[in-house]
Structure 1
Amino acid sequence: MIQIVEHAPGEGPYAIGTALEAAGLPVRVCRAWAGDRVPEAVDDLVGLVVMGGPMAAYDEFPSRTAELALLRAALEAEIPVLGVCLGAQLLAVAAGGAAKPGTGAQVGWGDVRMTAAVQTDPLFATAPDQLRVLHWHGDTMDLPAEATLLASCDRYPVQAFRIGRSAWGLQFHLEVDEAGVEAFARAFPEEAATAPGLLETAPVELAALARHRDDVCKRFAALVAGRAEQTATRAFFTRRAATWEERFAGDGPRYAAAVARIGLRSGQYVLDLGCGTGLALPALRAQVGEAGVVVGLDLTPAMLTAATREGRDAEAQLLLADACRLPLPTGAVHGLFSAGLINHVPDPAAALREWARVTTPEGVLLLFHPSGRAERAARHGRPLDPDDPMAEEHLRPALETAGWRLAHYEDAPHHFLARAVRGQE
């Protein structure tokens, strides 16, 4: 779900909404100006768009606190974000910067200059060196140190920026079409009067802008769609990372017992896929010894932060990566440990093939969960799923197709364990 937050009736997403719809992405609109409640969590979000409005990001307004909390949660979970005007200022504040009054209203068509950073930016890589856009603001912002400035102009130096890998702020209104320009002029006639010819020149200005506007909006929609599965996983686990260790610390002995079943030797290379807070890492380190290599890999930065807080970085190298697209050469590892991850990947068959690719012949894959399948189903108040990829009748052929041989399958009341061996090439 894409969440759009609007602050004024005429300040809708326009071209952004068109691009999201064309990409087949479901959209949910929070009309904060009408009293809609801003979502408290990002668990079901794959993208967030925060539009402009007449209020100031440095002053309190009814939805400000909730919006800042939502933006901070989206940043932590690396959910793609696009903030426009007020939305950009709120994004800067949420990331640790500050919003502040500017030097007066900047209204009307005007140029912005792209910085060298746009050459590698996912949204603005094809933008021209100079872009003529619609300005409509009187405030500005100080960016946090980690922000990347993308566009500027003499009067208001911060015009576009990126936070991290997936959040963008636009001070100007790139999203507008003719209906949008007319809506702005109707809503703010006194400000519109300071920009003579605003409406009359709109068709010509928009004709020149349209290709670049649509390219940026389509790139954002494509980025959201392409990362949707990863984003959903990050969003789900990010909010749970802070209490994960507390919830599952008692499972440590079960993890250690499972690791003992892998059967690795000293000096070998083992990978914990979806390591979470790293419950298995001490046992994996003990099995391969100081001469071995232990890597704990997870898609969620908050989980690796929690693992570091627990001191697990002393047991293993912690790596932020997608477990379905491993940044490892073929045949690099002797063993893989995975607790519960197979139920959270979008394509289990593809994941098993990728895991086989990085494993040496006769290497071992251990799939584990501290609860049996029936126990987990009962805990969630549902019957066993006949299509569960961990059911033996599904798992065995999936493993064989991917290049594994199922050596042991154990679906006990209080744990699940499957041990598979990588076949010869």
Structure 2
Amino acid sequence: MAVLVVQHVAEEGPYEIGSALAAAGLGLRVCRVWAGDPLPEDLSGAEALVVLGGPMSGYSDYGFPTRTAELGLLRAALDAQVPVLGVCLGAQLLAVAAGGTARPGTGIQVGWGPVRMGSAAAGDPLFAGVPERLRVLHWHGDTMDLPAEAVALASCDRYPVQAFRVGAAAWGLQFHLEVDAAAVGAFARAFPEDAAAAPDGLCEDAHEESAALAPYRDQVLGRFAALVTGRAGHTSTRTFFTPMAATWEERFAADGPRYAAAVARMGLDEGRTVLDLGCGTGRALPALRAAVGDKGLVLGMDVTPAMLDAAARHGRGDLAALLLADARRLPLSAGAVDGIFSAGLVNHLPEPAPALAEWARVTDAGGALLLFHPSGRAERAARHGRPLDPDDLLAETNLRSALEVAGWRLAHYDDAPQHFLARAVRVG
């Protein structure tokens, strides 16, 4: 896994963005569109998306053959809540992808100058603690209008939109926070006419200006890198499932009776509280609601927002409380539920053992855990062209041991061609 970096010209590289990501243990996959590198069709394998600056226009395809494809990647990242950092041109493209506009400005703004932090910056995950006035490198002539849901973070007199956030994980920076003195020199050599329009001292003062900027630059970029690493498990899951969410229900509509039969094996009583972990579009929620009745409580949790949106469109929000949550860190108190249903989730967890322990924590003594899949292990292995793996967690011996360590007792195991079903009971 690596961070996908879209680079439009040789001189506008990731610079200190790359340093911050590397310090966090993240690799870079640089797509040099200026050199003819093909732009990926999707975000598979990408922990985050960084779109850099360039002399093209965010509002026109003229001289910018990858613009439409880049907007598609940005929209996909926003849909899946993949962390995004857009710089200069990249910020303009992010604004457009989010529903705003990019447009020509009144002239080029080049050189070191201040930006003002808005009130929202104080609570922003990246910009909290940055001084109210910060001197940065400007090098742009276009500007943008933000969509209504964007949060403005920084402005200046010439072009008010200088930094913004869309959602919880996408930031646009009109200025060049990533630069050091070497980067300023590279910019000046590449764009001498622009550099000539800058006030005196653009390059002469670059060491001094970039040194003064460095503590805040490192803070903001370091926080972005930490956010990327902290979301790594979520990101891979969301990039996999988000594109399929809209058609997931239709693709697997025939599985409904199998889900209902699996839920019946839980032995839930009316009035109980049950949790569907990794609920997806909510195929099990009708059966879970029927099992606990009107007086019971059904919770549906998933880490992919698009799946929960699809569940709501199919009316599952009327059957259960739909919650965006990490299956490894549940927002529930100890013993809060009487049973957990989970279909196909364990296979997607990078570390299943801590998750099983977390599920035991929130389940009352004697409560049931039902692990289910509408096809057996052998059928799934054959479908992917591989033999059964003896180290597979869902193999009976492995699963029994993992459950016991986590606080469960395996009560029933059935790995049949037409389904996989394991029922465990909370010990204690």
> TM-score, normalising length from structure 2?
0.98
Q: 2:40 maps to what in 1?
A: 39
Q: 1:410 maps to what in 2?
A: 414
- Between the aligned partners of 1:216 and 1:387, the Cα distance in structure 2 is 42
Q: 1:239 maps to what in 2?
A: 243
Q: 1:73 maps to what in 2?
A: 76
Unaligned runs of 5+ in 2: none
Tell me how far 1:43 sits from its aligned partner.
2.2
Q: Which runs of 4+ in 1 moved over 2 A?
A: none
User: How big is each residue's C-alpha offset from its partner over 1:63-117, in whole Å with a ceiling of 9 and x where there is no partner?
Assistant: 0000000000011010000000000000000000000111211100000011121
Q: 2:94 maps to what in 1?
A: 91
User: How big is each residue's C-alpha offset from its partner over 1:286-338, in whole Å with a ceiling of 9 and x where there is no partner?
Assistant: 00001111111110011011111222112111111111111111111001000
The correspondence for 1:174, drawn from 172, 177, 191, is: 177
Q: Which amino acid in the other structure matches residue 246 of structure 1?
A: E
Worse-superposed segment, 338-347 or 18-27? 18-27
Q: How many residues align?
A: 424
Verify: 1:214 aligned to 2:215, yes or no: no
Tell me how far 1:407 sits from its aligned partner.
0.6
Q: Which amino acid in the other structure matches residue 56 of structure 1?
A: S
Q: Which amino acid in the other structure matches residue 320 of structure 1?
A: L
User: How big is each residue's C-alpha offset from its partner over 1:147-200, in whole Å with a ceiling of 9 and x where there is no partner?
Assistant: 111111111111000000000000000001111101110111111111121011
- Between the aligned partners of 1:128 and 1:385, the Cα distance in structure 2 is 55
The correspondence for 1:163, drawn from 156, 161, 166, is: 166
Q: 1:274 maps to what in 2?
A: 278
Worse-superposed segment, 183-192 or 239-248? 239-248
Verify: 1:26 aligned to 2:27, yes or no: yes
Verify: 1:53 aligned to 2:54, yes or no: yes
Q: Which amino acid in the other structure matches residue 128 of structure 2?
A: A
SS at 1:46 equivalent: strand
Q: 2:157 maps to what in 1?
A: 154
Verify: 1:289 aligned to 2:293, yes or no: yes
Worse-superposed segment, 309-318 or 106-115? 309-318
SS at 1:330 equivalent: coil
User: How big is each residue's C-alpha offset from its partner over 1:42-79, in whole Å with a ceiling of 9 and x where there is no partner?
Assistant: 12111000000001101112000000000000110100
Q: 2:396 maps to what in 1?
A: 392
Verify: 1:132 aligned to 2:135, yes or no: yes
Task: Output aligned runs, 1:287-326, within 5 Å.
Answer: 287-326=291-330
- Between the aligned partners of 2:9 and 2:353, the Cα distance in structure 1 is 47
Tell me how far 1:126 sits from its aligned partner.
2.4
- Between the aligned partners of 1:246 and 1:379, the Cα distance in structure 2 is 20
The correspondence for 1:119, drawn from 117, 122, 128, is: 122
- Between the aligned partners of 1:395 and 1:327, the Cα distance in structure 2 is 25
User: How big is each residue's C-alpha offset from its partner over 1:224-268, in whole Å with a ceiling of 9 and x where there is no partner?
Assistant: 111111111111111111221122111111000000000111111
- Between the aligned partners of 1:120 and 1:325, the Cα distance in structure 2 is 23
Q: 2:339 maps to what in 1?
A: 335
User: How big is each residue's C-alpha offset from its partner over 1:328-384, in whole Å with a ceiling of 9 and x where there is no partner?
Assistant: 111110010000101111211100111011111101100000011111000110001
SS at 1:172 equivalent: coil
The correspondence for 1:422, drawn from 414, 420, 426, is: 426
- Between the aligned partners of 1:182 and 1:36, the Cα distance in structure 2 is 25
Tell me how far 1:217 sits from its aligned partner.
1.3
SS at 1:109 equivalent: strand
- Between the aligned partners of 1:37 and 1:93, the Cα distance in structure 2 is 22
Verify: 1:364 aligned to 2:368, yes or no: yes
CA RMSD of aligned residues (A): 0.8
Q: 1:252 maps to what in 2?
A: 256
> TM-score, normalising length from structure 1?
0.99
Q: Which amino acid in the other structure matches residue 72 of structure 1?
A: R
The correspondence for 2:379, drawn from 365, 369, 375, is: 375
SS at 1:303 equivalent: helix
SS at 2:252 equivalent: helix
- Between the aligned partners of 1:197 and 1:130, the Cα distance in structure 2 is 20
